[in-house]
Amino acid sequence: MRVIQRYKGVLVTLIIVVLIFYAYELDDEYLETVGELLSIVAGEPINSSFPITFYQSAYVDHRFDPPRLRIFTINKCLKNYQFLLADLHFNVTIHLGSRKVELNVEKIYKKATKGITVCLQPVYYFSHWQNILLFIEAWRAQGATRFIVYFHSATKETWKVLAYYRDLGLVEIKHWPSFPSFPVDIAYKYPRIDDSVLRNAYFLAMNICILDIKTTFGTVPDFDEVLVPTNGRLLDYAIKEMAGTKVGALIFDNHYVSFTPNIYSANFSGVASPKFRTLAWPSKYVFNASVIDIAQVHVPDSFTDPSMISIKADGALLHFRYDAESKNLTTTEKPYRFFPDNHSTHIKNMEDTAKKIFNGVIPKFSSKSNDALHECVNKIMKSEDKICVSTGGLCKAEMDKVEDWVYAKSEPLFLIAI
């Protein structure tokens, strides 16, 4: 197969992530990023004076007919006459004027393995390890078979919980290191990508992750979010509603949850009888992984087949934010539960697992590092220049003062042209 084709941007789907003019908010609403198909006939190729960094892999996505080449980048907005010049051999070479960058190519096909894959956004300065235990056990009980976790930084306790599930073969930890700097001749003109990357990375990681899914269903929740149907198990419910239909995603409305006693100060006994608090917050969803094209945080952006639709699910997004109690919201009764059966068995299992992970000495939770993170972010938000803010780069010095963090191994995940 010695096919050498010169693509003048025609089949290149770029996930354009706007680097500049981005304000940080802690727990987000919608990301205003867009996936765009560029079909450019005439124009100007971008060169190395354009600030752009590439995810190391390009994808040939055979879920589209004809197959589509997809390249993921972080960059400022392109004008509609600008395009990327690329050669496609067995890998992809992007030409940026006299500089170039080479990406390896992965092929994507429809998914056949029964199950749900859970994609998690880069974990930044994460300290609520209890969330992860409840999250993984509840999702497993709902039919999840694989968890893909992008990892930047966390406490040692959090890392231990992740490593435990990694060793069981359930969690795949993918290191999400710092981003490289731009070439020296343009670096001084732009903010460091690493200082502005948290929310952008969230969107990028989610979309790379969904291409890596091998199961029929996927989902993109946070570590404090579990999707449950009103009756039965999520996997069975998803098959019933989606298999062989035009339904590409099921959307679950947010339900803010608190536990008595809470899972940070005591044990998991409160999980059996969650309290629901009224607060409008956006949805999350489970999707058919053979047809999802671009994922947004709260709803799918598009499907490979435009006739696919999303529908509202008969169920709930159980959102157990660490600060639920402090909000003093009205509590209501709802029928939703984390596990489809046998709560006492699952609760005992979570407690036994915590004891096993921590050799019998359950670490006391401290809000110290979480408070430091909020303090740092608030300081940034108050400053004059609040574009391009993120906890990834800007808070590192502050965060290193309060805790001995486990950081991602640095691997060249993102490439710039040289």
Could you list the residues that contact ligand NAG (CB under 6 A)? 44, 47, 49, 89-91, 97, 102, 104, 216, 242-244, 261, 266-267, 269, 288, 290-291, 328, 341-342, 345
Helix, strand or coil, per DSSP, at residue 402: helix
Output the smallest distance, CB 177 to ligand NAG, in A.
18
Residue closer to ligand NAG by CB (options 145, 269) is 269
Longest Cα pair distance anywhere in the chain, in angstroms? Answer: 66
Smallest gap, in angstroms, from Cβ of residue 346 to ligand NAG?
Answer: 9
Report the residue number, 52 or 316, with the smaller CB distance to ligand NAG.
52
Comparing CB distances to ligand NAG, the nearer of 155 and 216 is 216
To ligand NAG, the closest distance from the beta carbon of 3 in angstroms equals 12
DSSP states along 28-69: -S----EEEE---SS-EE--TTS-EEEEEEEEEETTSSS-EE
Closer residue to ligand NAG (CB): 97 or 335: 97
**Cβ closest to ligand NAG, residue 30 vs residue 81:** 81
Asked if 144 and 172 touch (Cβ cutoff 8 Å), the reply is: no
Alpha helices by DSSP H, 151-227: 156-167, 184-187, 198-211
In whole angstroms, how far apart are CA 41 and each of 11, 45, 313?
Answer: 11, 11, 42
Rounded to an integer, what distance in angstroms lies between the CA atom of residue 395 and that of residue 397? 6
406 - beta bridge partners? 154
Let me know: does 232 contact 320? Beta carbons within 8 Å: no
Q: Quick check: helix, strand or coil at residue 344?
A: helix
- In the block, tokens 């960094």 appear at 53
CB of 136 to ligand NAG, least distance (A): 17
CB of 359 to ligand NAG, least distance (A): 18
In whole angstroms, the minimum distance from the beta carbon of 382 to ligand NAG comes to 25
Q: Which is nearer to ligand NAG, 98 or 383 (CB)?
A: 98
